[in-house]
Amino acid sequence: MPKRGKNYKNAIADLDRQKVYDLNDALENVLQVKFAKFDESVDVAVRLGVDPRHADQMVRSSVILPNRTGKTARVLVFAKGEKEKEALAAGADYAGSDELIEKIKGGWLEFDRTIATPDMMGEVGKIGRILGPRNLMPNAKLGTVTFDVDRVVNEIKKGKVDFRVDKAGVVHAAIGKCSFGVEKLAENILAFVDRLIQLKPSTSKGVYLRSISVSSTMGPGFKVDPMQVRTLIKAA
């Protein structure tokens, strides 16, 4: 059990941690009890009715959030020639080939997301042991191995979020900042959960959306009613 500070303990002192809230009420609580002096991220955790040990139940993809995330990702593109120029013109922070690979081998990791053209993957694979554990490896399933670098750079800069289910069947994502307010945070969560619903594996049996919780970076989590979220998505 992790040790909690006085601010955290004060934040949860009067809370019923077992109560399940409607989405807006849960977000209002998140914003009400936040105590950090910086603009905290708001995170969502969704437990799915899947067994990630089976390849056909691995839920992994990406979604573009309608209100972005509040953080601008530093994008690196592995490309040559015209595609390198295209990446930089689209707003990539870094673009290149062998020189970037050598720089990364030397320990440089000043970027958040990577894209690679297919012809570069042979070389990028040589630094897979560096990028892979940090979730920085370009991945065709996530659309980041592509010649369409202009589109993908723009999507990432506009708030495209990658996600994958963990061993416990839970998907985590940062969906905005506390400063966004309830309405924008709710819109982002609905877009995120809608994408998860679209990705339901055909082999998943029983209840798919098992539970949803929201929290700020430093604050406590609040349970959200999955059925109410489904209803909001259907009504949108």
Q: Over the stretch 95-131, which tens digit does the pLDDT of each residue have?
A: 999 999 999 999 999 999 999 999 999 999 999 999 9
User: Same domain, yes or no, for 231 and 169?
Assistant: yes
- pLDDT over threshold 60, residue 193: yes
User: Same domain, yes or no, for 150 and 79?
Assistant: yes
User: Same domain, yes or no, for 82 and 56?
Assistant: no
- pLDDT over threshold 70, residue 156: yes
Per the prediction, the chain carries an average pLDDT of 92
Share of the chain above pLDDT 90, in %: 83
Domain final residue, candidates 141, 157, 173: 157
User: Same domain, yes or no, for 167 and 216?
Assistant: yes
User: Same domain, yes or no, for 192 and 219?
Assistant: yes
CB-based burial of residue 137 (10 Å sphere; 0-12 exposed, 13-18 middle, 19+ buried)? buried
Beta partners for 117?
none
- pLDDT over threshold 90, residue 28: yes
Give the per-residue pLDDT at 8. Answer: 62
User: Same domain, yes or no, for 57 and 88?
Assistant: no
Q: What is the CATH number of the domain that holds 209?
A: 3.30.190.20
Radius of gyration of the chain (CA): 19
- Is residue 167 a part of any domain in this protein? yes
The answer for 151, left when phi > 0, alpha when psi is -120 to 50, beta otherwise, is alpha
- Grouping H, G, I as helix, E, B as strand and the rest as coil, residue 236 is coil
Q: What is the CATH number of the domain that holds 125?
A: 3.40.50.790
The DSSP call for residue 218 is S
- What's the number of domains the chain is made of? 2
The DSSP call for residue 18 is T
Give the per-residue pLDDT at 1. Answer: 45
Confidence grade of residue 18 (pLDDT, cut at 50, 70, 90) = confident
The residue range of the domain holding 193 is 16-69+160-235
- pLDDT over threshold 50, residue 82: yes
User: Same domain, yes or no, for 84 and 120?
Assistant: yes
Helix (H) or strand (E) holding 196: helix 182-198
User: Same domain, yes or no, for 136 and 92?
Assistant: yes
- Is residue 189 a part of any domain in this protein? yes
- Is residue 213 a part of any domain in this protein? yes
